[in-house]
Amino acid sequence: MSKIAIEFGIDQALEALGIQNINNGTSTGTENFSSGEIIESYSPVDGALIGKVKTTSKGDYEKVMVTATEAFKIWRAKPAPQRGEIVRQFGNRLRELKAPLGKLVSYEMGKSYQEGLGEVQEMIDICDFAVGLSRQLHGLTMHSERPGHRMYEQYHSLGVVGIISAFNFPVAVWSWNTALAWICGDVCVWKPSEKTPLCGVACQNIAAEVFKANGLPEGISCLINGDYKVGEFMTQDGRIPLVSATGSIRMGKIVAQAVAARLGKSLLELGGNNAIIVTPNADIKMTVIGAVFGAVGTAGQRCTSTRRLIIHESIYDQVKDAIVAAYEQLRIGNPLDENNHVGPLIDTDAVAMYKAALEKVVAEGGKLIVAGGVLGGEGYESGCYVKPAIAEAENHFEIVQHETFAPVLYLLKYSGEVENAIAIQNGVVQGLSSAIMTNNLREAERFLSVAGSDCGIANVNIGTSGAEIGGAFGGEKETGGGRESGSDAWKIYMRRQTNTINYTTELPLAQGIKFDL
Ligand code: NAD
């Protein structure tokens, strides 16, 4: 038995988080109600039923929206630093519950316990960031062209923010949105992935407790549950000025159209097809660690997972051999056991997509150099465990152009200058994360220049995954263009207003226009 499993079991974690056998998936704070169908949540770790969640009907949703809209009026009137104080308390509660929540994330989603803890740490970090930010929400002042006039801009709370999240970061993505939205004075309605509903219930329980202890109204944090149909309640609802949606490009295209049709705002965090460029000046040891963690971490189910390795021909064989040797060391199994590197995929549908990708790359002319395969037998009863695979391929292959959400790494060869590698890297529709491994300053700067990587994230001597919350996170092209988390990402959760005040007895017009009566 693993060290972690001895410390405390999943049952104790569920108890600490207030998870029951049957849970209400609709909540406006401490008030829980649901009249929809039941979703059963099975763990990909061992196939066990963890719990059930009652989903949100249209009628339930209406009740949520009325409560959230009322709560907004009270919440927006609170000074931002006081809202920050509530987020500080929420962050502290997360500190206390880090181990059980990290364990639930690991057990329901299938990522390693360390990564589950890391995800909760990310929640704590964004809370800390938001607390500081609650005293810094700022606009600019500009000089007016008219005498005796003052001009400035200010940011007001936006309203009810709708959050739709993916299964692979079942708690952190919500907190990136919600911690910022809350300090901005917004209230949030969250629909977690139907594949990880219990993580949603656990987070809502924690938030509701903090709001209740502070005598704040029901509805600042709301939870709804269900599949895409419940998501559509929000995308089609004109009462929601901003929908923040994280998930596949396919989903993002539908959500973007639905929200745009009613001229709402959407913040889209969609799929990636991330590459590491390995130049002749790379540190090979660092490259291997970065590439292997990037490709197999979270079983290749990160939006920032490394999918393509673009290697200079002069070191191609050396890098290939080192990566293949590293793959031979990988231990695949229960992610709650810290001895394992790779856990399961989320479900058997994901396994089918993984198998189809391996078949497709071969059919297109690629060569599997680490064959992969589905694992069975003792410890793998859930049917969700696969071996990470590596294929030599070409960038133009249809399957290489596509994000397969599984541990499949494509090796691509380039020759000549780094610009040739950058062209390969940019030659996909996605634009999330990118990296170059080089000790050559000129290569690194060319990669970072305007003619370099076209991604939202471009790293030097770091892999593609594992972003910090301090920077704005997101990607270009079909990744959706949204930015979340650090830097000035908070601005999307507010509405900007430009104010001009005339303190004279004259009424001069802008641009010197004469209008005499
Ligand atoms: P998914 O697109 O299947 O589902 C994501 C969420 O969208 C779920 O809650 C789902 O119910 C909802 N949804 C689906 N169709 C909808 C519709 N028509 N209207 C409203 N809601 C709808 O994605 P997934 O399989 O859960 O997650 C994996 C994907 O998410 C990958 O493509 C990954 O790259 C991406 N992702 C991106 C980021 C990022 O920050 N860029 C982060 C995490 C995951």
What are φ and ψ of residue 111, in 5° steps? Answer: -80, 165
Ligand 1 pocket test: pick from 55, 199, 246 the residue with the most ligand atoms within 8 Å of its Cβ.
Answer: 246
CA of 145 to the centre of ligand 1 (A): 47
Taking the alpha carbons at both ends of the chain, their separation in whole angstroms is 89
Q: What angle do CA 155, 158, 159 make, to 5 degrees?
A: 155
In the chain, where are the structural domains located?
3-270+480-496, 274-469
Q: Please determine, for residue 1, whether its predicted confidence score (pLDDT) is greater than 90.
A: no
Residue ID of nearest Cα to ligand 1 atom 22: 228
Ligand 1 pocket test: pick from 56, 196, 225, 248 the residue with the most ligand atoms within 8 Å of its Cβ.
Answer: 248
Task: State which ligand 1 atom lies nearest to the alpha carbon of 167.
Answer: 26
Q: Which of 57-61, 279-283, 466-470 has the lowest mean pLDDT?
A: 466-470
Is 284 in contact with 260 (CB distance < 8 Å)? no
DSSP state of 363: H
**Average pLDDT, stretch 457-465?**
97
Q: How far is CA 506 from the centre of its chain?
A: 53
Q: Report how far residue 266's alpha carbon sits from residue 89's, in angstroms, rounded to the nearest whole number.
A: 29
Residues linked to residue 262 through DSSP beta bridges, in sequence order = none
Q: How far is CA 434 from the centre of its chain?
A: 16
Residue ID of nearest Cα to ligand 1 atom 30: 247
Q: Report how far residue 470's alpha carbon sits from residue 168's, in angstroms, rounded to the nearest whole number.
A: 21
Give the pLDDT confidence score for residue 466 in this predicted structure: 84
Tokens of 213: 């202890």
Average pLDDT, the chain: 96
Number of neighbouring beta carbons within 10 Å of residue 44? 26
Over residues 258-270, the pLDDT tens digits come to 999 999 999 999 9
Give the pLDDT confidence score for residue 155 in this predicted structure: 98
CATH superfamily of 3-270+480-496: Aldehyde Dehydrogenase; Chain A, domain 1 (3.40.605.10)
Over residues 319-368, the pLDDT tens digits come to 999 999 999 999 999 999 999 999 999 999 999 999 999 999 999 999 99
Q: Please determine, for residue 2, whether its predicted confidence score (pLDDT) is greater than 50.
A: no
Ligand 1 pocket test: pick from 175, 227, 251, 306 the residue with the most ligand atoms within 8 Å of its Cβ.
Answer: 251
% of residues, the chain, pLDDT over 90: 97
Q: Report how far residue 39's alpha carbon sits from residue 124's, in angstroms, rounded to the nearest whole number.
A: 29
Over residues 196-247, the pLDDT tens digits come to 999 999 999 999 999 999 999 999 999 999 999 999 999 999 999 999 999 9
Is 276 in contact with 294 (CB distance < 8 Å)? yes
Q: Please determine, for residue 120, whether its predicted confidence score (pLDDT) is greater than 50.
A: yes
**Average pLDDT, stretch 69-97?**
98
Which of 119, 194, 218, 269 is catalytic? The answer is 269
Among 194, 182, 199, 432, which residue's Cα sits nearest to residue 303?
432
Among 165, 393, 514, which residue's Cα sits nearest to residue 175?
165
Q: Please determine, for residue 37, whether its predicted confidence score (pLDDT) is greater than 70.
A: yes
CA of 92 to the centre of ligand 1 (A): 29
Give the pLDDT confidence score for residue 9 in this predicted structure: 87
Beta strands in 251-392 (DSSP E): 265-269, 274-278, 306-312, 367-370, 373-374, 386-387, 389-392
Q: How far is CA 327 from CA 2, 295, 313, 452, in A?
A: 22, 10, 21, 30
Task: State which ligand 1 atom lies nearest to the alpha carbon of 252.
Answer: 2
Q: Is the full-model pTM beyond 0.95? A: yes
Tell me how many helices (H) and strands (E) the chain has.
16, 24
CA of 401 to the centre of ligand 1 (A): 18
Q: Please determine, for residue 4, whether its predicted confidence score (pLDDT) is greater than 80.
A: no
Q: How far is CA 111 from CA 106, 117, 129, 342, in A?
A: 5, 10, 25, 8
The question of whether 269 is a catalytic residue gets the answer yes
Q: Please determine, for residue 479, whether its predicted confidence score (pLDDT) is greater than 50.
A: yes
Q: Please determine, for residue 5, whether its predicted confidence score (pLDDT) is greater than 70.
A: no
Across the beta sheet with 22-24, the strand order is 22-24, 49-54, 38-42
% of residues, the chain, pLDDT over 70: 99
Is 464 in contact with 306 (CB distance < 8 Å)? yes
User: Which residues form the pocket of ligand 1, taking CB atoms under 6 Å from any ligand atom?
Assistant: 164-169, 191, 193-194, 227-228, 231-232, 235, 246-248, 251, 254-255, 269-272, 303, 403, 405, 432, 475, 479
Residue ID of nearest Cα to ligand 1 atom 35: 247
Residue ID of nearest Cα to ligand 1 atom 23: 247
Number of neighbouring beta carbons within 10 Å of residue 202? 26
Instruction: Please give the CATH topology (third level) of the domain spanning 274-469.
Output: Aldehyde Dehydrogenase; Chain A, domain 2 (3.40.309)
Query: Confidence band (pLDDT; 50, 70, 90) for 418?
Result: very high
Task: State which ligand 1 atom lies nearest to the alpha carbon of 303.
Answer: 34
Tokens of 206: 């924690």
Q: How far is CA 336 from CA 181, 193, 380, in A?
A: 33, 22, 13
Q: Please determine, for residue 3, whether its predicted confidence score (pLDDT) is greater than 80.
A: no
Query: Confidence band (pLDDT; 50, 70, 90) for 30?
Result: confident
Q: Name the strand (E) or helix (H) holding 52.
A: strand 49-54
Among 40, 60, 61, which residue's Cα sits nearest to residue 194?
40
Query: Confidence band (pLDDT; 50, 70, 90) for 318?
Result: very high
